[in-house]
Structure 1
Amino acid sequence: MSPHFIRPPRLVPGSRVAALSLSSGFVTEVMGRYHAGVRQVAGTLGWEVVPAPNALRGPEYLYANPEARADDLHWALHNPDIHGMVSVIGGDDSVRLLPFLDLNLIRAHPKAFLGYSDTTITLTQFLRAGVRAYYGPSLLTDLAENGGMHPFVAQGLRRALVEEPRPFDLAPAPEWTEFRQDWADETLQEVRRPFHPGDGWVWLQGTATAEGHLMGGCLEVLDMLNGTPGWPAPDLWQGAVLALETSEDVPPPAQVGYWLRNYAAQGILAGAAGLLLARPRGYTPEMKDDLYRWVRRILAEAGRADLPVVANVDFGHTSPQLTLPLGGLARLDPALGRVTVTP
């Protein structure tokens, strides 16, 4: 039996969404990009994005005051005029928020929270509080995409957060990119980035259909969380479909294997229902092949050569991104090459 997670109310057109800087305060250095994200969210989804009280106070203040960042989350949860929350951007130190986060407040006021990368820390605390959370684009990334929000991103957000909740099939993106655009150059905001043709998913192993609640995030960030009081209890991992991705730090395939070996030692892999691996940013084809060898090797060590695994999925640090409802159910059908998600 999967744990029960509260589904937050939908974010429909007209919803007010708080922009939270829970990690880096970098946004003040690229305010043109911030305003582009606000415009594109309003134009595509109909949400009104409003900054939390401390969100635009700059990197120095937010670095020195992790409690103020947590206060912004609590403000958004308490505020009846705020219907959901979106992370402005990731970073590398939101683990410092753990002593200040109020899980009882998260559970008492369940609201949709969207983000990825370092936001993995806070998304995981929503799961620990028994509330679904949404692994998807942040305000400065795919929501402020150059030339307008990608239709693939908009479709994923609508299915996960806007429409009446019903199961839907994930699909590979028709194109993808990891091209770095200069956000500080506002003349480039309407210049579309170059994209590669979509290269589809890779089913690595497994033949039987499997179903479980989605858990996971960015592996580097989960490594920061591992061993802290914010790490999920074993029963939350039991029966989960793990959704794991890597960042622009481009960890070597062997390092990904070592992290997975830790999950095996904790019993997480033994109890998992399935595994979604994101397209790894910055990997060469040879590195991808090596990654897949490491994944199969560690799963074999853990006695899970049966585990359904689909790789090269479009979430995380390449664009366009899917939005995955963490805590929602995912069904993997290797025979049909199908992944169905219930938001």
Structure 2
Amino acid sequence: MPEFIKPSRLQRGDTVASVSLSSGFVTEVPHRYEAGKRQLRDAFGLQVVEAPNALRGAEYLHRHPQARADDLHWALENPEVRGIFSVIGGDDSVRLLPHLDLDLIRRFPKVMLGFSDTTITLMQFLRAGVHAFYGPAILTDLAENAGIRDFVARGVRRALFDARPFGLEAASEWTEEHVDWRDEARQEQPRSFQPSDGWVWLGGRKRVEGHLVGGCLEVLDMLNGTPGWPEARLWDGAILCLETSEDVPPPSQVGYWLRNFGAQGILGKASGLLMSRPKAYTPDMTSRLYDWVKRVAWEFGREDLPIVANMDFGHTSPQLTLPLGAKVVIDPTKATVDVLEAGVS
């Protein structure tokens, strides 16, 4: 397995930087951003400071990818900043690749938290040899209506604050209820959640270990073939964690992406596969998705591959926080997924 640097764990009283590496949408919902900051303070004792360009708006940030990369570098070099939290995702942080300094990431390893389009940046942390964290953004579950859910708080605390192994858990309830973030009156009204069916086991019988690598499939597709695509060594023996976005790609498209991973040799070398609850899928779409996943595993001779689906990470709520790069074990006989080492030191 590749060796990674563990960033220092967060503690109460620490300052974290908010960064808009993908979209400047935050300026359209300032009340929700303030709610996220307040809830981070109340739940974890964290103080949030904005990176210099984080609140400059969507048009400015779209025109200036260098400014977004500068914000990441500023947060890394700033001795008062202990962690870096993504404000929100987007669709074009692949444009940051020419401007990112991987040597700086390695020299100043810090907690980096985000998901969706932040997949681009998290992958560069792995390429620099530093653990990264696939979890909620400030405007999503950290600014959840009426407060951060207990499931989310536990996941963040275990991954970012506790320097010890931990088990992943299935949420007892989940939601896709849409709330207009621009409606300030709704911020303190909780969303409706429904009972969860738990994880779905699609394949594999043997206990396996590997390091976590993955993210949002649509974003990985944008990254594929660029200089920011992880080197082969980072995929070797990995447990893949893959999810889909609100774009709602059809099951066949997910199958095509997995075939690409098969053709690259990634599936052949993988130790296991974790898949999130697909955003906005009907039961029929979910069934067809599972058929596609099992079909592609068979096509590339990986019927032995342990596959866990319907997990609570990515574009679902509430979200887990996954320590990318950390060693994980999948045990089909016990129906467990455990993180064998802390993501932080």
- Whether the TM-score (by the shorter chain) exceeds 0.5 is yes
CA RMSD of aligned residues (A): 0.5
Partner of 1:252: 250
Partner of 1:238: 236
In structure 2, distance between residues paired with 1:289 and 1:3: 35
Letter of the structure 1 residue corresponding to residue 307 of structure 2: V
Q: Secondary structure of the residue that 2:308 maps to in structure 1?
A: strand
Q: Secondary structure of the residue that 1:77 maps to in structure 2?
A: helix
The 5 Å alignment of 1:1-343 reads 2-163=1-162, 165-341=163-339, 342=341, 343=343
Letter of the structure 2 residue corresponding to residue 275 of structure 1: L
Q: What does the per-residue CA deviation read over 1:148-179, in whole Å, with 9 as the maximum and x for residues that have no partner?
A: 0000000000000012x222111110110111
- Aligned identity (percent) is 66
Q: How many angstroms does 1:180 deviate by?
A: 1.2
Letter of the structure 2 residue corresponding to residue 87 of structure 1: S
Letter of the structure 2 residue corresponding to residue 281 of structure 1: K
Q: Secondary structure of the residue that 1:85 maps to in structure 2?
A: strand
In structure 2, distance between residues paired with 1:70 and 1:162: 26
Q: Secondary structure of the residue that 1:83 maps to in structure 2?
A: strand
Q: Secondary structure of the residue that 1:306 maps to in structure 2?
A: coil
Q: What does the per-residue CA deviation read over 1:107-162, in whole Å, with 9 as the maximum and x for residues that have no partner?
A: 00000000000000000000000000000000000000001000000000000001
Q: Secondary structure of the residue that 1:311 maps to in structure 2?
A: strand
* Runs of 4+ displaced beyond 3 Å: none
In structure 1, distance between residues paired with 2:271 and 2:247: 28
Q: How many angstroms does 1:198 deviate by?
A: 1.6
In structure 1, distance between residues paired with 2:270 and 2:165: 21
Q: Secondary structure of the residue that 2:6 maps to in structure 1?
A: coil
TM-score, normalised to structure 1's length?
0.99
Q: Secondary structure of the residue that 2:117 maps to in structure 1?
A: helix
Letter of the structure 2 residue corresponding to residue 60 of structure 1: E
In structure 1, distance between residues paired with 2:164 and 2:79: 26
In structure 1, distance between residues paired with 2:298 and 2:14: 47
Letter of the structure 2 residue corresponding to residue 183 of structure 1: W
Q: How many angstroms does 1:254 deviate by?
A: 0.3
In structure 2, distance between residues paired with 1:275 and 1:328: 15
Count of aligned pairs: 341
Moved more, 129-138 or 176-185: 176-185
TM-score, normalised to structure 2's length?
0.98
Q: How many angstroms does 1:10 deviate by?
A: 0.5
Q: How many angstroms does 1:305 deviate by?
A: 0.3
In structure 1, distance between residues paired with 2:135 and 2:307: 20
In structure 2, distance between residues paired with 1:11 and 1:219: 29
In structure 2, distance between residues paired with 1:4 and 1:181: 42
Q: Secondary structure of the residue that 1:199 maps to in structure 2?
A: coil
Structure 2 residue ranges without an equivalent (≥5): none
In structure 1, distance between residues paired with 2:218 and 2:252: 13
In structure 2, distance between residues paired with 1:179 and 1:129: 37
